Amino acid sequence: MRSLRKLVLGSVAVCAALGLLASAQAAETKGPVTDEIGVLVIPKGAPIQIGGYWVLSGADTALGLDQKRAVELAVKDKKTLVGHPIKFTAEDSLCNAEGGQTAATKLAANPNLAIVIGPSCSSEATPGAPILWKAGITSIGTSPTAPKLTAPDRGAQYDGFVRTCYSDIFQGASDAKYIHDVLKAKTMVAVHDGSPYAQGLAGATADAFTKLGGKVLSTEAVQPTDVDMHPLLTRIATQKPDVLYFPIFVAAGAQILRQAKETPGLKDTKLLGSSGMLAPDFIEAAKEAVVGFQITYTDLSPSAMGKGYPAFVEKYKKAYGEGPTSGYHAHAYDGAEMAFKAIEKVAKTDDKGNTYIGRKALRDAVFATTFEGISGPIKCDKYGECGEFHPAVYQYTNADPKTFTSDATKANANPKKVWP
């Protein structure tokens, strides 16, 4: 009897689950629109609501603030969208998993939200994108570069996610080539902080370096909040690597850089960072140790960007009284443009002025949107990879944070582009 009771209860549970699944997949019709997963209705005169989430506090604020500002400028340029004003709301996602989960949950709780732009960090996107897509909300990542976010096996929970930046698979290959061919390194040690971004990029670079004939002596891990790096660096010094490669973020990256300069045995080891360290806050944290330090990045030179990029930078300076504070502003502006174009493609307005947007239709339109962005050509593959990577290496030339600029065309640029 007990077994029969379990079988009956199990069958009821399965039927209930199947019923919920069927109801979740049932198409919804509102006004002139029928959509597989739901229809958003914007009454006449009401705004089209667009969300964003980036790191907006802490050591990596410059990264997220730069992208938020770019979206603000895109909204200002657009003014209205399919006859409605645009309301833009951004959440602080802290550049960690907990922050990404919290920010995405807040955004997903708004039933009137059309689409989300962001986030900045892969550790935010990893939990955040599935939460948004479960609510039927498409999200457009603007600088989360972890390979698994657009990998063929990423899972259905990421079906609503695309990115206007690039995968670290491409940057890893470029970084390895620079380390091997330009720095002439035969050995390296890689350090990550456990985040999807740092772990993914360190791994991609290590794999590519090995394929080029180099030897990875070890891969080490730190915590983003670690302060004393001496034990780690002393251990690394005993391996005598040609290059110490640490593609992490501002706080821990600055600690490694400063303490490596005082660690016996690392004098002849080349130190190399990456994207998370392009910020005035990194200069401030690293102090004099920053001078001569190199980071790998996407090429921000006007020749490598879209034709509208120089005009955008001038508009940015006029609006905020300073140049861009990091390097992914163009990807964020293009993310907003992608959202606008997709909404314009699928939105339908009735004779009373009410607008209807199918959520699955919007997702499909985002994936199908192609245009010449200010970051370069935007065209998505079926897994949401939409941007291009153009390799570059930058070198810090001054320890004064006020001299920071992401404009590589300036004669006194800090950091300045040194490769290619």
In tens, the pLDDT along 319-378 reads 999 999 999 999 999 999 999 999 999 999 999 999 999 999 999 999 999 999 999 999
**pLDDT-derived band at 11, boundaries 50, 70, 90:** very low
**pLDDT-derived band at 162, boundaries 50, 70, 90:** very high
Q: In 140-245, which residue ranges form alpha helices assigned H by DSSP?
A: 168-177, 196-211, 230-237
CA-based nearest residue to 57, from 113, 114, 102: 102
Are 60 and 92 contacting, i.e. CB atoms less than 8 angstroms apart? no
Which residues neighbour 382 within 8 Å (Cβ) at sequence distance 6 or greater? 367
pLDDT(10) > 90: no
Q: What is the mean pLDDT of residues 42-68?
A: 97
Determine phi and psi for 38, rounding to 5 degrees.
145, 160
Comparison of pLDDT for 159 and 23, the residue scoring more: 159
| Residue 65 burial (CB count, 10 A) | 22
pLDDT(5) > 60: no
Of 17-26, 189-198, 292-301, the poorest mean pLDDT is in: 17-26
**pLDDT-derived band at 410, boundaries 50, 70, 90:** confident
Are 250 and 59 contacting, i.e. CB atoms less than 8 angstroms apart? yes
CA-based nearest residue to 200, from 121, 270, 98: 121
Are 101 and 126 contacting, i.e. CB atoms less than 8 angstroms apart? no
Which CA distances in Å does 249 have to 195, 219, 225, 368, 385?
Answer: 10, 17, 10, 33, 23
pLDDT of residue 73: 98
Instruction: Round the average pLDDT of the chain to a whole number and report it.
Output: 93
pLDDT of residue 406: 83
Domains and CATH numbers, the chain: 39-165+328-389 (3.40.50.2300), 169-301+392-419 (3.40.50.2300)
Look up tokens 């206007």; give the residue.
Answer: 164
